[in-house]
A and B are shown apart, each in its own frame.
Chain A
Amino acid sequence: MMSSPILRTANGIIFPLTLLFAFYMALKGHNFPGGGFIGGLIAAVALMLFRMSHGRDAMTRLMPIHPRVIVAAGLAIATLTGLFPMIYGPFFSVEQEAMPMLRSFAPYVNLGVGEPVHMPSALFFDLGVLLVVIGVSVGMIVRLGEEIAPDEEEVAQA
């Protein structure tokens, strides 16, 4: 694989900053441009760059779990967020009314410090989307990289 010292050194700065930016975009997405999908894509770009600069083994060390676990976890979070109102509505809410799936809530949660935080339930859905996008992109790049790598070696030998 390509391994350039310049890229590797620069990536030391770029990688954490990109991840931070991804997180910022994911949080910002409720009322502004951004969101889980965008954040996930940015994070995936960071991870792809890492894969390019540091190689396959470093990638495996950085992310020891299989990408499918991340995808499954993200989907599970999103599904549970969707299902929450269906369980909360008839059994726990004050009105005891049936609520449709994916109904969102936007409570202001008091975290004990500072002002109450606007925390819509869409946040958790977006978190799920973020994980799914990261998992899918990383899975794709890792899988395709693994598939292509042996061929490259053979071409080199030939």
Chain B
Amino acid sequence: MYRTLFILLAALSLPSIGMAKEPCVTKDECIEMRNWDLGVAIGWGQKTNPLRDFDDIPVFFIPTVAYYGEHWFFDNGNLGYSLTEQKYFSLNLVTSYSLDRAYFYRWDPSNIFLKRSSQEEARLLSANTALSSEPDPVFNSLESRNFTMLGGVEAFIYSPLGVVRLAYTHDMFNVHQGSEAQIKWTYGWHLTRWVMDMSLVFDWKSTNVVGYYYGVRPSENDYWSKHYHADAGWNKGIEMTARYILTDNWDLLFAFRYTQLADEIAASPLLDQDYSSTYFIGAAYRF
């Protein structure tokens, strides 16, 4: 995380466009109301999969789909309703979905535009623990980890030092009955044709969420189902997105995400990495 600190300090030394003097200041942070905003980025990237023996996930396309009405909005799979939008803060009711399931399933919404990564492709065998006193984390076929939507509230706080997002959401369909929370700080720059932003992200996942996705079921491995005890934890991450504006419609897009998984999640025998990182380089077209 020293690299993160360095990037943060470097970011603060550059001129800002992040301050919000009005509800919507620059073209980059605004969207036209009552009009679909559609776009697609085509290029190459990769998302590492922390699950043991699951393949990393190539990234070929990134879509963007958004529609904002007077109060309602739909943005990249999130449905929201703005309760208030003020100069220095906003408050929304929102839905979201967990990114954890995406590691298990090809057709999770997070993976729709990514190449296949599924349990069928997993080899589910590992020889990495040969020296351990514990039994090898070899699993039978994994049980389902179902999709669910989370619903809750999010607040944005705008300041000269960037935008802070605070969110709390809970499982709406009794799939795992868990909750998630997020603290996210985003800072943006606009330098001639470059538009960049960087975020530091802290994601909290309740015991139920961690247990549902990363816990071991008895049918998968009886020993590990008894010896791994899920607990709530905080993922920590950094996100960077840079766009180079070519024309009104075309941008070059550079994106990078890194998530350090919570110790409580990394301890799961289903995982053999304690992080997930994603990068993407491509050309983006906005319709």
Do A and B come from the same complex?
A: no
A residues adjacent to B (C-beta < 8 A): none
